[in-house]
């Protein structure tokens, strides 16, 4: 897997986010650099260019990422890239929310294109605590709507949540999701809450796992990499386990899925439309 750290402060040694301050915390840092598994990008020129309405550097970055993906494929390396990019974050720090929203929208359109082309490129966009201020909730909602998933770390006090869900620590959950970074997010977060979590990356693996173990809940994404129809997966699940509860995640608007959901034997209340907060998923689990 390739990781790209694109920060406005990447080479600002006085800043906590500079690579000089972070490198010691990265395992085998120099080796990762030498093998091109880690790239550092000075994002400041990109940030300054976009401020005057020029996103050409971002277009060039898009082309570079796609070229990197193809090169890794040719070299027989894992064709998955994660990008940490904080330009929009810096705009939010300066309360330039409209500019941030514009860039986030462009990024999400690019990500949608990558998803359509089956490019495994994940972009992580951090945002400052100022976004949590009540007076900025509208800006927060707008930016959240431009992402597949939003994680509000401030509201996730794991010790508090462990107490809240302690009586459910025997709940077994199967997560069926093809995006590797979402798999990791779901698995690590739910496991931290003491849920018993198993992951499957496609419909075939899901069916195999269900033949071996029982689960209280199956969290099933409707856009799996093996292109197995959701109806085929749910039909097989309900054939073997008629009462199996399924929570669906999807990028499609709910009003376009009413008939489909009914045919899948899934409750409308058990459908999460991306982007969603992890707290929404926890609430569904709580309603078990």
Domains of the chain (ranges; CATH) run 2-147 (no CATH), 155-286 (3.40.50.2300)
Sorted by sequence, the CB contacts under 8 Å of residue 239 that are 6+ apart come out as none
Sorted by sequence, the CB contacts under 8 Å of residue 240 that are 6+ apart come out as 210, 211
Per-residue pLDDT of the chain (288 residues; tens, 9 = 90+): 688 999 988 999 888 888 998 898 888 899 999 988 899 999 999 988 888 888 899 999 999 999 998 988 888 887 788 888 887 777 666 666 666 677 778 888 888 888 788 888 888 877 655 544 544 445 555 554 545 555 554 544 444 444 444 444 578 999 999 887 788 888 878 887 888 999 999 999 999 999 888 999 999 999 887 778 889 999 999 988 899 999 999 888 888 887 888 888 898 899 998 877 788 888 898 886
Instruction: Provide the phi-psi class of 76: left if phi over 0, else alpha when psi is between -120 and 50, else beta.
Output: left
Locate 28 and state its tokens. Answer: 């085998």
Q: Is the pTM of this model over 0.85?
A: no
Residues 51, 99: Cα–Cα separation, whole Å = 8
Q: Please report how the helices 97-116 and 137-144 are oriented relative to each other, as an axis angle in degrees rounded to 10.
A: 20
Sign of torsion over alpha carbons 107, 113, 115, 121: negative
Sheet holding 271-273, edge to edge: 196-200, 172-176, 217-221, 245-250, 271-273
Cα 95 versus chain centre, distance:
24
Instruction: Provide the phi-psi class of 70: left if phi over 0, else alpha when psi is between -120 and 50, else beta.
Output: alpha
Long-range contacts of 47-51 (CB under 8 A, 24+ apart): 47/8, 47/87, 47/90, 47/91, 50/87, 50/99, 50/103, 51/99
Which residue, among 223, 225, 227, 272, has the nearest Cα to 246 in the 3D structure? 272
């Amino acid at each position: 897997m390739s990781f790209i750290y694109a920060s406005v402060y990447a080479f600002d040694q006085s800043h906590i986010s500079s690579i000089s301050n972070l490198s010691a915390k990265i395992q085998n840092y120099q080796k990762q650099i030498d093998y091109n598994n880690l790239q550092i990008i000075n994002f400041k020129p990109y940030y300054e260019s976009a401020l005057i309405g020029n996103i050409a550097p971002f277009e060039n970055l898009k082309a570079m990422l796609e070229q990197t993906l193809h090169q890794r494929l040719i070299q027989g390396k894992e064709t998955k890239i994660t990008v940490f990019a904080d330009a929009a974050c810096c705009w939010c720090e300066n309360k330039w929310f409209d500019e941030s929203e514009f860039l986030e929208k462009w990024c999400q359109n690019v990500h949608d294109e990558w998803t359509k082309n089956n490019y495994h490129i994940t972009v992580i966009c951090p945002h400052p605590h100022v976004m949590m201020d009540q007076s900025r909730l509208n800006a927060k909602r707008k930016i959240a709507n431009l992402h597949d998933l939003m994680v509000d770390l401030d509201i996730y006090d794991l010790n508090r949540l462990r107490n809240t869900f302690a009586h459910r620590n025997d709940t077994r959950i199967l997560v069926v999701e093809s995006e590797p970074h979402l798999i990791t997010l779901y698995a690590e977060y739910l496991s931290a809450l003491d849920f018993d979590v198993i992951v499957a990356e496609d419909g075939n693996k899901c069916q195999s796992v269900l033949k071996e173990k029982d689960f209280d809940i199956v969290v099933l994404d409707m856009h799996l990499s093996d292109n197995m129809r959701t109806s085929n997966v749910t039909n097989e699940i309900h054939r073997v386990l008629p009462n199996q509860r399924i929570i669906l995640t999807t990028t499609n608007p709910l009003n376009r899925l009413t008939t489909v959901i009914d045919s899948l034997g899934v409750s409308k209340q058990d459908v999460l439309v991306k982007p969603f907060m992890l707290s929404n998923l926890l609430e569904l689990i709580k309603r078990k």
